[in-house]
Structure 1
Amino acid sequence: MKHSLWVLSLAAVLPFTASAQDASREAREIIEAVNARNDGAYVSRDATFELTDRRGITRVEKTTGYRKYFGDEKRTVIFYTEPSNVRGTGFLTWDYPDIDAEDDQWLYLPALGKVRRISASDRGDYFLGTDLTYEEIKKENKIEIDDYNFSLLGESEVDGAAVVEIEAIPVNETVARELGYSRIVLSIDPQIQMSRHSEYWDVNGNRLKTIHNGNIEQIDGIWTVTEVNVINHKTDHRTRLLFENIDYETEVPDRTFNRQMLERGLR
């Protein structure tokens, strides 16, 4: 598991250098610090998804999820518990540290009674009716650093906190189409090594969506987002994600993260 040994301050990155190469390197170092942020050796938590369409009709879904590090490899599993028509649906991901290894992701749909593998080319698809992609569910506020080129844009403020604005551009067209984005602007709070707000543009350069991380607090000494609000500007669909019963102290058994458990569920 990667742990950050320092907290990057604004003074470390501002004022920006005149060199574009230096600015790019500084931006990448900030993202590296975000990815190295301590997020616990394991965690269990409940989550509520509130999905609201353009007519204002809201659907509520509830899940229970677990995450655990196996060395530098991260495994995550999510089980749907409500409503009844999605109960038993499960999503399992093994996120490998080796950039040349394709991460393993599986989706279990009880109505079909089988597990479907999610390939890397599908990682930009939206996750089960939400406005978050499979990649974003897997990464949990962290970023696959080799997917992007980064640059510093300046500084601003989000929710009263000073942030550094970083632009992320996919390294090539293939990655852009896999992720579904041509550009992202991340508002990184260096004091907590986390994005507070991010804006996304689709592969055609049109404004696509906004993700806002709210109610960031320390739980068991770990900075934690307890509310995520996503707006899809194309469809006017919204996702509100609320986390509760967050526990970083109770160890999660290894067997929780295998395909057999994915099919069996929480019963």
Structure 2
Amino acid sequence: MSKLVMVIWIFALLPCLCWAAELTGRDIALRMDAVDTSKDYKRTAIMVINRKGQKLVRKMESCNKKYGPDERGLIKFIDPPDVRGIMYLTWSYEDVERDDDMWVFLPAESLVRRISGGGKKGSFMRSDFANEDIEKREVDDEHRLLRSEKFSGVDCYVVERVSKKQKDTNYSKRITWVRKDIWLPMKIEYFNKREKHIKTGIYGGFKEIKGIWTITKIMVETPRKGSKTLMQYDNVDYNIGLSDSLFEQSNLKR
């Protein structure tokens, strides 16, 4: 084979080789899931809710611990007084056939309530986040790579995520812009069951803490409601050896 013919063949095959090397949506989801290499973490947060001129500020503490592929998380509200002591406990499972567990403790009633099924579609403390938004992302949902493009000057993969648990979600799909360099989301668009875009989350404040790239700021806006919520994380710390007892239901009433 002449050198000219060989060169022609190489250039003809290049598109196929590039396509074969292209990441899949699931590959990207797995890369995102692998960013947090910690065994556990804790952090504080301020959530600022703006709705039609009304401003609500919530201060909270949260922590999370991994149990193999599964995770448990606890959120405790510390201010203002009317929400102080409210706690959310989540147990998230890798197995998509198993429903994640979620409970909320309401100190005014000294009552622990289980949040399941349709309850996860409800608003998280009157914010633009839904209860389901505070759960761990499901790697085994359907993920499809749509394209590559820049967002705010940063190279991103654009990935469509469709939940395998459609009866328990508000969303028909989510479109996520994932940074190619650190595998974290920059933007998520949420679509309702009628395929209408209903809200957008913008992620920022990227910091490397103990070698782990971390999101410290999220802004979620719901134009139809005229509302937006800012979540700002501080005092993030990893691998601190959290006790298992923190994540037991019995801890909620202590």
Q: Same fold (TM over 0.5)?
A: yes
Q: In the alignment, is the contact (CA less than 8 A) between 1:39 and 1:223 conserved in 2? A: no
Following TM superposition, by how much is the alpha carbon of 1:168 offset from its aligned partner in structure 2, in angstroms? 2.3
- CA distance 1:219–1:100, change in 2 (3 Å): same
Q: What TM-score results when the alignment is normalised by the length of structure 1?
A: 0.83
Consecutive unaligned residues of structure 2, counting only runs of 5 or more, are 1-15
- Quote the Cα distance in structure 2 between the aligned partners of 1:240 and 1:208: 17
Match of 1:145 among 139, 152, 156: 139
Instruction: Show the 5 A alignment for 1:174-213.
Output: 175-213=165-203
Query: Which of 115, 125, 149 is matched with 1:156 structurally?
Result: 149
Rg larger for: 2
Matched, 1:219 2:191: no
CA–CA separation in structure 2 for the residues paired with 1:132 and 1:42 = 23
What RMSD, in angstroms, separates the aligned Cα atoms of the two structures?
2.2
Match of 1:72 in 2: 69
Contact kept? 2:76, 2:88, Cα under 8 Å = yes
How is 1:10-21 mapped onto 2 (pairs within 5 angstroms)?
Answer: 17=19
Are residue 257 (structure 1) and residue 247 (structure 2) matched?
Answer: yes
Matches of 1:16 and 1:200, distance apart in 2: 30
User: 1:31 deviation in Å?
Assistant: 1.1
CA positional deviation for 1:50: 0.2
When normalised by structure 2's length, the TM-score is 0.87
Q: Contact conserved, 1:207 with 1:233, CA < 8 A, in 2?
A: no
State whether structure 2 residue 53 is matched by structure 1 residue 60. Answer: no
* Deviation of the 1:181 alpha carbon: 1.1
Structure 1 residues 103 and 51: CA distance shift in structure 2, 3 A:
same
Pairs aligned (count): 239
Stretch of structure 1 that moved more, 106-115 or 160-169: 160-169
Q: Tell me the CA shift for residue 261 of structure 1.
A: 1.6
Identify if the C-alpha distance between structure 1 residues 16 and 227 changes in structure 2 by more than 3 Å, giving closer, same or farther: farther
> Could you list the per-position Cα deviations for residues 101-130 of structure 1 after superposition, in whole angstroms to 9, with x for gaps in the alignment?
222111001122110011133222221111
The whole-number CA distance in structure 1 between the counterparts of 2:52 and 2:24 is 40
Change (3 A) 1:169 1:253: closer
